[in-house]
A = this chain, B = another copy of it.
Amino acid sequence: MALIVQKFGGSSVGDADKIKHVAKRVIETQKAGNQVVVVVSAMGDTTDELMDLANQVTDNPSPRELDMLLTAGERISMALLALAINAAGAQSRSFTGSQAGIVTDSKHGNARIAEVTPDRIREALDEGDIAIVAGFQGFNRETRDITTLGRGGSDTTAVALAAALNADVCEIYSDVDGVYTADPRQIPAARKLDYIDVESMLELAAAGAKILHIRAVEFARRHNVDLRVRSTFSTDPGTRVISGNRGENMEESVVSGVATDKSQTKIIVVGIPDLPGKAAELFNIVAEAGANIDMIVQNTATGVDVDDKVSDISFTLPKGDSAKVVAALEANQAKIGYRELEVDHEIGKISVVGAGMRTHSGVSATLFNALAKAGINIEMISTSEIRISVVTDITEADDAARAIHTAFGLDSEIEAVVYAGTGR
């Protein structure tokens, strides 16, 4: 008998009919001879609606109470799913994060899972029940307070439970039937992958692909969890994310996929004195402002005066972090000694990811040729061992992604199937 963890996102449990549909699927999985643990997110837009209520009460919500509020969302969806399963003749019981033994640190709003003690889940499974678990939430043992894991945290709940229960497989359900070579909403010729190695999946998640939450993928890699991405609305086997040894006999593809991210801002710090320690000074200030930097590029140029060498440093960061970083940099202009700041919100980042890049040469050449042929200007370039990212003007990002997708031979002849709903 296999133990299967299934995670259903907010769009999969968006209303009573969808909840009944999920109930049916879950019962079928159990009837096929499996023990089943189901992790659910809050219904549809519930989390946003609760957040709106909090914002009506205060601009600056206390983190402990905000977590108490938001965790009501999964409580509602998990109880409804358990009701639907019981009504359909199977047995199920729902458990909050705390009841399921999801122990976290005390960082409200973005807690990390420290330990999983799923005794009650095991009990329920042993008694033949389907266990329904609230995603996104846990509790801190010292303070005995409820915590949340941050956006997308339900994926992490599912993978962590799968690891703790030594589950045979962890299935992440959404309205797309697997991991694609690109976002099929944007590039209809995108091809579904049957397999992807976990490192490439990590890079894709980091590069802005919305299909899996990056912390969940990291967790799966670390604990060697067999992770699958499937659709709630089809029976397609989906995409298997191959971790650790499981990937040994799989031939690595050169390029697994293309991800596009339009949520970033580029800041160029123009005319920094080209002296040792200046970059460190700059990024200390950025870090103190509390921003997550993504790409960094430095060009050293000759200044107006021949002896006066200066650099330009460009970096990208989430749009939402840009205002506080600009304010911090402006406050320290004299100290750093730069000439001016240029801020560009209208950028797109396109990343090409593939574990095979380690051993195959010519990947960058293919990429740059494709963009040159399409007449697209590259503003920044950054690379990792298995990823190349370029920044373009936001209006050219989709064209760039399509050109790259084609150049690497990823196009499918069949158009991708995208189901109703908005994702996770």
- Interface: A65 (CB within 8 A): yes
* A60 with B76: CB separation less than 8 A: no
* B72 with A86: CB separation less than 8 A: no
* A83 with B62: CB separation less than 8 A: yes
Report how far A356 CA is from B79 CA in the complex, Å: 50
Q: A61-B87, A87-B61, A120-B144 are in contact. Are A82 and B56 (CB under 8 A)?
A: no
- Interface: A57 (CB within 8 A): yes
Residues of B within 8 A of A59 (CB): 87
| Nearest B residue to A134, CB-CB | B68
Q: A64-B93, A93-B64, A144-B120 are in contact. Are A69 and B56 (CB under 8 A)?
A: no
Query: Using a CB-CB cutoff of 8 Å, which residues 162-181 of chain A contact chain B?
Result: none
- Listed residue (A58, A65, A66) with the most chain B CB atoms within 10 angstroms of its CB: A65
Interface of A is mostly: helix
Residues of B within 8 A of A78 (CB): 68
Residues of B within 8 A of A80 (CB): 53-54, 57, 69
- Interface: A19 (CB within 8 A): yes
* A99 with B65: CB separation less than 8 A: no
* A72 with B69: CB separation less than 8 A: no
Other-chain contact of A57, B16, B57, B66 (Cβ < 8 Å): B16
Q: What's the nearest-Cβ distance from chain B to residue A240, in Å? A: 32
Report how far A50 CA is from B50 CA in the complex, Å: 15
- Interface: A20 (CB within 8 A): yes
Q: A66-B83, A82-B65 are in contact. Are A57 and B19 (CB under 8 A)?
A: yes
- Interface: A351 (CB within 8 A): no
Residues of B within 8 A of A56 (CB): 15-16
Quick one: CB contact mask for A105-141 with B, threshold 8 Å, 1 for yes? Answer: 0000000000000001000000000000000000000
Report how far A83 CA is from B56 CA in the complex, Å: 10
Q: What's the nearest-Cβ distance from chain B to residue A138, in Å? A: 15
Residues of B within 8 A of A92 (CB): 65
Residues of B within 8 A of A79 (CB): 54, 65-66, 68-69, 72
Quick one: CB contact mask for A67-95 with B, threshold 8 Å, 1 for yes? Answer: 01101100110111011101100001110
* A65 with B50: CB separation less than 8 A: no
Given contacts A62-B86, A69-B75, A72-B72, 18 further A-B pairs with CB under 8 A are A16-B53, A53-B76, A54-B80, A58-B84, A59-B87, A60-B87, A64-B93, A65-B83, A66-B79, A66-B83, A68-B78, A68-B79, A69-B76, A69-B79, A71-B75, A72-B75, A72-B79, A120-B144
Give the 6 A-B residue pairs with the shortest CB-CB distance, closest first.
Answer: A58-B87, A69-B79, A16-B56, A68-B79, A65-B82, A72-B72
Task: Please report A residues at the B interface, Cβ cutoff 8 Å.
Answer: 15-16, 19-20, 50, 53-54, 56-62, 64-66, 68-69, 71-72, 75-76, 78-80, 82-84, 86-87, 92-94, 99, 120, 144
27 contacts between A and B (CB under 8 A): A16-B56, A53-B76, A54-B80, A57-B80, A57-B84, A58-B83, A58-B84, A58-B86, A61-B83, A62-B82, A62-B83, A62-B86, A65-B83, A65-B93, A66-B83, A68-B82, A68-B94, A69-B75, A69-B76, A69-B79, A69-B83, A71-B75, A72-B72, A72-B75, A72-B79, A75-B75, A120-B144
